Amino acid sequence: MTRCIWVLVLLLMTGTASAQVLNNQAQSKPVDYTQPQQYRIGGIEFTGVKFLDPASLMAVSGLKVGDEITVPGEDISRAIQKLWDQGILGDVDVYVTRIEGNQIFLNFDLKERPRLSRFEFTGINKSQQDALREKINLIRGKVVTDAVLNQTRAAIRKYYAEKSYLNAKINIVQRPDSLLPNSVVLNIDIDRGDKVKIAEINFEGNEAFTDKKLRRQLKKTKEKRLHKIFTSSKFQRSEYENDKQLLLDFYNSEGYRDAIIVSDSVYNVSPDRLGIRIVVDEGNQYYYRNITWNGNYLYDDDYLTRVLGINKGDIYNKQELDKRLNYNPTGIDVSALYQNDGYLFFNIDPVEVTVEGDSIDIEMRVSEGPQATISKVTVTGNTKTSDHVVLREIRTLPGQKYSRDDLIRSRNELANLGYFDPETIGLNPIPNPEEGTVDINYSVSERPNDQISLSGGWGGPIGAVGTVGLTLNNFSTRKLLKLSEWRPLPSGDGQRLSLNVQANGRYYQSYSFSFTEPWLGGRKRNSLTASLFKTIRRDPRADVDSRLNVDGAALSLGRTLNWPDNFFQLSHSLSYNRYTLKNFNLFGGGFNNGVSNSISLNNTLARVSIDNPTFPRRGSNISLSVNLTPPYSLFSEQRNNYEYVEFNKWMFDASFFMNLAGNLVLNTRAHFGFLNNYSSKTSIGPFERFRLGGNGLGGANIFVGTDYIGLRGYDEESVINNPDESLINTGGIAYNKFVLEARQLISPNPGATIYGLAFLEAGNSFGAYDRYDPFKLYRSGGVGVRIFMAAFGLLGFDYGWRFDDVPGRPEMKRGQFHFMIGQQIR
């Protein structure tokens, strides 16, 4: 009986382990379980193990030969517990093999837990299996314990819970592996069940706002409704917890600073539907009363109050207060006043000094501190781009006063280079208050930015046209002669090299080359671009040799201005185009043979302040350009109207970006273009005109100088109001277009940045100024998607629906798909 009690005690002390201390019939002295005695361990033996090291097991047990123990006592039970805690044993038995005098010899008979040989899934498809393999921590050779199995089940349940499969059933079956000893194969059978949707969301305790208003504050937790076909109603615990905080943030923004969620519950409505009940205590609504300032010396109270923009009687909103004090992305804030003047160590602490009734008095406790001077500027992460290319874009220079605006502007400049992932550019000021200095580290992450274009299209009467292009956006001529820098091409100095070939056998070939040095001389933002091109076009419908050759070259010089501010850019481009026609009726008007020469100077004044070239969230891009040829007609008469092309061309483009919420951005655009002559004695020629409609990319019938403007929902180049039928296919001399576009970022991945868009746009082009009417517009709307891939540039897909009919085009479809590559639809 006493022996059974001793075994039972050991069992209770060691959990589920089977622990026994048994007499051996050959021992010289039996163990008396009613009288604990002191023994010295004469030997310890471990049996039943094949893969575990006995020496390691002895060390884990805490027992060793020569130790004095009490039998019966806690020494052996403590050793069993330590072995069991390792989680590698399935059973432990302890035997007394013999006793010689005061020496006791022990045998630990162990049963090892099996190890994992492999695991397999049943009940789910391969894509889900691949996803789960990354989620669960099952490694071949790992000891299969209860904890491992429970962790596996929990990871699988979490995976499916995030996808709204809250009733997923997981059954894990172990079976011995016949090929490996002491190993098992785990069969993980999964029945994910049906998705669980949210049937209802109810609120209690709310008086200031309706249930409908409060439901709108929950961004990811939505009810299932038949009319909400694009709204997800799946339940995710993590998103639900975030949405509860958003609910409180909403109350706080409306002055209910004491609002709390008293309780909330999630309950089953049906097997695949659940309900949510949230009980709130709104508390009182508060208002600002008196706002006072303390500790400010640089700016007086009235000025700081005007910058703050909060008046007595306004609803108390702590989040808005913090934004206007510390960082306001859409306007100036109090901290900007100080930090843009070097006061990096500036600090402001708003303290609620009085809460009386529904009114709150705020005291702004200001610590201005000393001005900080920039000590060191470093850049990390640029593994490909040379240091000097990065540093020359940075506007925070050693020795200057610290400026937060310069810091943010530098980040935008680095993003606009296109060499780095704009979403991961890091700004890390490292202040040193004792010395009054700050070190600044910029961290960047290189991304591929060279582009290869392989595309095909339809070039009207000449048929299919293939395009092959190579653009190196971070080229280096300095490293051309250094073979060790060819990886695979010399790069890192920020130069741009572009080669492009378009062809359709003998009927159409086009070759172009351009090179850009963005920092000519390396000290100032002076860019130099040189380009050459040649186009050969033959008419496959002509019975005689009919061809058009276009040869051209251009040289451009651009620089950044410091007035009115340093967002302004001025560029000048001198170009020469030579058109050679042989039996080629391109323009109409009887000009089929001969040579036309076009020499023009294009001057562009632009202001660019966007924060990200791939997906701008804020800023603008505004430009005014004037393209002029010499006024030949004012000095001499030409043998024909096309021998020397003359025109003056004016274009204005404006694009504004506003961040509405999160990754939702509103883009508004306006475009105008006007083409004129110098003398009333000459007519405006067919060169440099505007062609409106479609995706705005033009086709193989392109000749230099023509501006192709997109108008989605309409056929290519179809929108024209032209009284001269002989020039009906030449294009307009004036156009205007307006665009309203909402963009939603889908994936910020630098390898493939994706965003969706919805648009409304309207435009028209005119063949004569007496027909120009900026309010006579052809309208359309639709949706689309943009994909920026580092290797291929920008790809776009749009579906446009036209709202108006174009005279003379009854066959035009009402809705159209548009594809574009390489540039945005203007």
pLDDT recorded at residue 458: 56
pLDDT recorded at residue 699: 52
pLDDT recorded at residue 171: 93
Which of 148-152, 455-459, 802-806 is least confident? 455-459
CA angle 90, 95, 98 (to 5 degrees): 160
Are 531 and 512 within 8 A, CB to CB? yes
Q: How far apart are CA 77 and CA 9, in angstroms?
A: 9
Give the position of tokens 């741009």. Answer: 496
- The domain 197-281 having CATH identifier 3.80.10.10: the answer here is no
Which of 212-221, 629-638, 740-749 is least confident? 629-638
733-742 average pLDDT score = 96
Which of 219-223, 419-423, 438-442, 634-638 is least confident? 634-638
Tell me which residue of 730, 693, 696 sits closest to 806, measured CA to CA.
693
> Chain-wide mean pLDDT for the chain?
86
Q: How far apart are CA 169 and CA 654, in angstroms?
A: 57
Please tell me the pTM assigned to this model. Answer: 0.70
Q: Where does the pLDDT of residue 290 fall: very low under 50, low under 70, confident under 90, or very high at 90 and above?
A: very high
Of the options 3.40.140.10, 1.10.540.10, 3.10.20.310, 3.20.20.70, the CATH number for the domain spanning 287-367: 3.10.20.310
Identical topology for domains 2-112 and 373-443: yes
Strands, DSSP E only, in 346-494? 347-356, 359-367, 373-380, 426-432, 437-443, 451-458, 464-475
Superfamily of domain 2-112: membrane protein fhac (3.10.20.310)
pLDDT recorded at residue 822: 61
Q: How far apart are CA 461 and CA 468, in angstroms?
A: 21
- Would the pLDDT of 227 be above 80? no
pLDDT recorded at residue 568: 96
| Top-level class of domain 115-191 | alpha beta
Q: Where does the pLDDT of residue 824 fall: very low under 50, low under 70, confident under 90, or very high at 90 and above?
A: low
DSSP 357-413: TTEEEEEEEEE-----EEEEEEEE--SSS-HHHHHTT----TTSBP-HHHHHHHHHH
Q: pLDDT per residue over 72-82, tens digit each?
A: 888 888 888 88
Protein fold of 451-821: Porin (2.40.160)
Q: pLDDT per residue over 521-562, tens digit each?
A: 888 899 999 999 999 988 877 788 888 899 999 999 999 998
Q: How far apart are CA 685 and CA 584, in angstroms?
A: 16
- The domain 373-443 having CATH identifier 3.10.20.310: the answer here is yes
Quote the DSSP letter at residue 159: H
The ranges assigned to domains in the chain are: 2-112, 115-191, 197-281, 287-367, 373-443, 451-821
pLDDT recorded at residue 726: 47
Q: pLDDT per residue over 156-197, tens digit each?
A: 998 888 888 888 999 999 898 888 888 889 999 999 988 888
% residues pLDDT > 90 (the chain): 52
601-625 average pLDDT score = 94
Token digits of residue 180: 């490996």
Q: pLDDT per residue over 233-289, tens digit each?
A: 888 888 899 999 999 999 999 999 999 999 999 998 988 899 999 999 999 999 999
Question: How big is the chain, counted in residues?
Answer: 826
Quote the DSSP letter at residue 634: G
Which of 256-270, 560-574, 586-600, 770-784 is least confident? 586-600
Q: pLDDT per residue over 365-392, tens digit each?
A: 999 999 999 999 999 999 999 999 999 9
Tell me which residue of 616, 705, 621 sits closest to 665, measured CA to CA.
616
